[in-house]
Structures are given as structure tokens and as C-alpha cells.
Structure 1
Amino acid sequence: MNKKPLLDYIHNYINLTVEEETILFSKLIYRNYLKDQYIVQQGDVCKSINFIVSGSTKTFYVDTEGQEHIVVFSIEDWWTSDLGSFMTQKPADFNVQCLENTQLFQFTFNNLEELYIEIPKLERLFRKIVERAFVASQKRIVRNFSLTAKERYQIFRNTYPKIEQRVPQYMIASYLGITKEFLSKIKSQLIQNQ
């Protein structure tokens, strides 16, 4: 179990003593998931918020016609969960599925509540995580309303170059809200314009 990625992430926001680190890891679950395994399924209550040590996931929902809509990809040093379900402990709107074999640390709802009491500064850390997620979500909504598919793809490619190398094109198209054929056309245009 490699604790360093999580500790490095946490230390960007707060400092923990050795004793606090021991308390923290006593409450965490370290899990290995296989490619295609689900961490959360739509309709189930999300039991954990997850820090990815290695691997990648997609968060998506399936509409009534069976169409998959990808909301976010997550890779190393990122968090993945159905945050709304986790916070309310109500059924999940989203699925979280592993795109690769994935290792992660899981904070269960009850353990996180206990950690807030035992290490109060962890509340600041998770407030910052939720704030960042909220801002990213708002920016994505505005981009979807105001930018062309080509512009959205260029932003995706520039913002998340590591993800594009690891995710199939049809999934990127789903994330952008376009067909894989239209994404291929956009990519061809960009190559021609170079």
C-alpha cells in the first residue's frame, strides 16, 4: 500500500502530524479494482469517496434509452465518487467504473465523519475538494452552452493531455456530448490546420 500519493495530496492543503497520519490510515480502506469493475452503480447509495493511487475511472449516467453520458474522467491523484449520493447517503445518479485496474483509498461516510471529529482540519481539506469540484462543474456547464464542439475538444486536450492518451475516443466523444464520428472529423481538421 503506497500512502505517499495521498499524503502528498493532503499536504498541499493541510499539515498532519505523524499521530494524525496514523489515525487517518487506521480509518481508510485500500482497495484494488479490476478494469470494468464498478465502484458505484446508479441507484445504489455511494458508500465512499475515493482517492485514486493508480488507474483511471469514468463517472457516467445511463439515460432511459440506455445511452451512456460521461460526466468526468479521473486518474491518479484525483478523487472519484458520486458526491451527491455520498453526501446525502441517497441513491446514486451516476456510475463510477474503472477504465483500468485501479488502486484507491476509500473514505467511508461514517469513517469520514469520525475523522472530522478526531482531526478537525480534515474538514478544510474536504471543503477545498468539494469547492474545486463545484467550480470545475460550473465551468464545464458554461463551456457546453457557449463553445463549439471543436473548442470543447481543444480545451479537453489541453487541460487533460494524460487522459486523452488512456481513454478510447468514443468515451471522449461521450464526454464532449458528440458522436465519435464527429470527433474524428474535428481531429482531422485540427491535423490539416497544423
Structure 2
Amino acid sequence: MISVYSFYTQQPATETIELLEDSTLLLLSWAQMQAIYADFPEFNFIGRMLTEKYYMASEQRTNLLQNGTAIERYNLLLKTHPDIIQRVPLWMVASHLNVSHEALCRIRGQQLQTT
């Protein structure tokens, strides 16, 4: 998890991260990353690949939020994270999908009726 803008500009982040489960976190500071890039030039390639992957996922999410329906967003979330409904409160899932809790409940109800 990273606030890309905050990390690369070295400015305070505007968002927070809340862990819902026990987790192990790894930290890589800006200075450490710069040292790795200097000491291991091949890591520049890895860093670029990770950045490309992150930005492609970000663009996909932005496009889906702008152009996709709530049902499409919900279905993609279930496809990519099938156990999310059992692990995360529905109001948080709704917020992530940019829909109201009530709208998410309607979507889930409609899908249960069709199966």
C-alpha cells in the first residue's frame, strides 16, 4: 500500500490506511529506495515494473468508477477478491465501490435472486 504522490513528493499523505486483520508490514523509506537504486541499478527496472503495474491497476479502477455500473464494480471486486464479503464490513465494501450501503444490499439481493 502506498500513497504514490506522498511518497514521491515527500509530502504528508492525505489518506490513512486501516488494517482490518493482523498483518505484517514492511517499510521502505524514500532514502532506502534511493540507496537501493544507486547500489543496484537493476532494481530500477524492478521499480519501474512495479510502478507500471500500480498505475495500470489505478487506471482500471478509475475507468471502472467513471464508466462502470455499480453491478460491474461489485462483480469485479468479487472476481478479484472472492472472500471480501466475509472479511470486510459491507459498509466498507460499499464505500470502496462508491455506492451507498443500501445500493450494495440491493445489488446483492438481485444477484441472489438470479442464482
TM-score by length of 1: 0.56
Structure 2 counterparts to residues 101-140 of structure 1, below 5 A: 101-140=22-61
1:118 partner letter: D
Q: 1:164 to 1:130 in 2, by over 3 A?
A: farther
Higher strand share: 1
Q: Distance in 2 between matches of 1:134 and 1:85?
A: 15
Q: How much does 1:116 deviate? A: 0.8
Q: Distance in 2 between matches of 1:122 and 1:98?
A: 29
Structure 2 counterparts to residues 1-194 of structure 1, below 5 A: 80-194=1-115
User: Is the 1:82–1:96 Cα contact (8 Å) retained in structure 2?
Assistant: no
Q: Once superposed, which parts of structure 1, at least 4 consecutive aligned residues long, lie more than 2 Å away?
A: 162-165
Q: 1:103 to 1:127 in 2, by over 3 A?
A: same
Q: How much does 1:160 deviate? A: 1.7
Q: Distance in 1 between matches of 2:30 and 2:62?
A: 28
Larger RCO of the pair (alpha carbons < 8 Å, separation 6+):
1
2:95 partner letter: S
**% identical aligned pairs:** 32
Gaps of at least 5 residues in structure 1 are 1-79
User: What's 1:69 paired with?
Assistant: none
User: Is the 1:86–1:109 Cα contact (8 Å) retained in structure 2?
Assistant: yes
Q: Distance in 1 between matches of 2:6 and 2:67?
A: 29
Aligned-partner SS, 1:96: coil
TM-score by length of 2: 0.92
What is the number of equivalent residue pairs in this alignment? 115
Aligned-partner SS, 1:128: helix
Higher helix share: 2
Q: Distance in 2 between matches of 1:102 and 1:176?
A: 23
